[in-house]
Amino acid sequence: MNFAASQSALDPAGVGADSIADLFWVMLFGGSLIWLIVVGLAVYAIVFPGQHDQKKTRMLVIGGGAVFPTLVLTALLAYGLAMLPELQRPAPDGSQVIEVTGVRWWWRVVYQTTDGNKVETANEIHLPVNEPIEFKLKSDDVIHAFWIPSLGGKIDMIPGRENRLKLVPNRIGVYRGVCAEYCGEAHTQMAFDVMVESREDYDEWLRQQKTPAVEMSGLAKRGQRVFESSGCGACHAIRGTSSDGVVGPDLTHFGSRRSIGASVMPNNPDNLTRWVTETHRIKPGVEMPTFEVLNDAELQSLVRYLGELK
């Protein structure tokens, strides 16, 4: 489910994606020319069977079947290779650095801030428009692949290795990123949302993400006690509370996120209730246990608590 987020390499919204889309159309044109020539020769041979002038036939076969395809493919190769230096060039010094780690089957996202601190979130990425971003990409378990089709190319995330990717989004909007390397049972449910916004909106979002969770009261406070007594804090961190787990996603500002379970479903109370009680039915293979033992009152308060973590 993409919730109206764009996920097409032919709908570019980034500098790298513009180049890749141009390459696609150029290759399509070149490939079409080769196809027309080769198929045209085959049709000619079928429509006009029998003896042909040997010299003319040799020119058509060698020229149309070998020389022309070689020239076109060489030109396409040169065109594509000429793009590589810019696509591979690191982001300039001082650019926003974002560390993304692929985990079966979700995304750990850590922002390096200008004051030397780090801010962790999960399963969604915010980016300022028209600014280069340096991604540092890793994997905790198996090979994943990081790909935001509308913003740029994909790159593998390999255990024990840190890969790098520069992206420059140039259009405000919501885009969908995916894991583009088969990684196991829930591979198709390992996606993330990318929000490209103005520098002012981005700074405000990042400032809000730096803050710890607010103090709760009423039903949400009871939900916090359910969260802690059920052992959720052993896997999840909520800054400003006693929950400091590092196994699962950081939930400090979970209520502000668009989706649940790495873009499996929109983030709303009904879906969150289903996620807590039917985890493995919704996303087979996920390592989070199902909390079917919670009674209705406990479940209602827990959902209220998580929803108010904004």
Once rounded to an integer, what is the mean pLDDT over residues 65-90? 92
State the pLDDT at residue 47. Answer: 86
DSSP H helical segments within 48-186, as ranges? 54-62, 68-88
- 8 A C-beta contact, residue 42 and residue 60: no
Helix (H, G, I), strand (E, B) or coil at 299: helix
SS3 content of the chain, % helix, strand, coil (to 5): 40, 20, 35
Tokens standing for residue 179 = 């894991």
Convert the pLDDT of each residue in 139-189 to its tens digit: 999 999 999 999 999 999 999 999 999 999 999 999 999 999 999 999 999
In which band, very low, low, confident or very high, does the pLDDT at 59 lie, cut at 50, 70 and 90? confident
Q: Kindly report which listed range (62-66, 110-114, 256-260) carries the lowest average pLDDT score.
A: 62-66
What is the predicted pLDDT for the residue at 192?
96
Is the pLDDT at 197 greater than 70? The verdict is: yes
Handedness of CA 112, 113, 116, 117 (dihedral sign): negative
Average pLDDT, the chain: 93
Q: Kindly tell me if the per-residue pLDDT of 1 is higher than 50.
A: no
Q: Which residue has the tokens 């002012």?
A: 200
Return the biggest CA–CA distance within the chain.
Answer: 93
Q: Which residue has the higher pLDDT, 288 or 60?
A: 288
SS3 at position 159: strand
Instruction: Dig out the tokens for 5 from the structure.
Output: 């987020």
Residue 202: HSE in the Cβ half-sphere, 13 Å Cα cutoff: 20
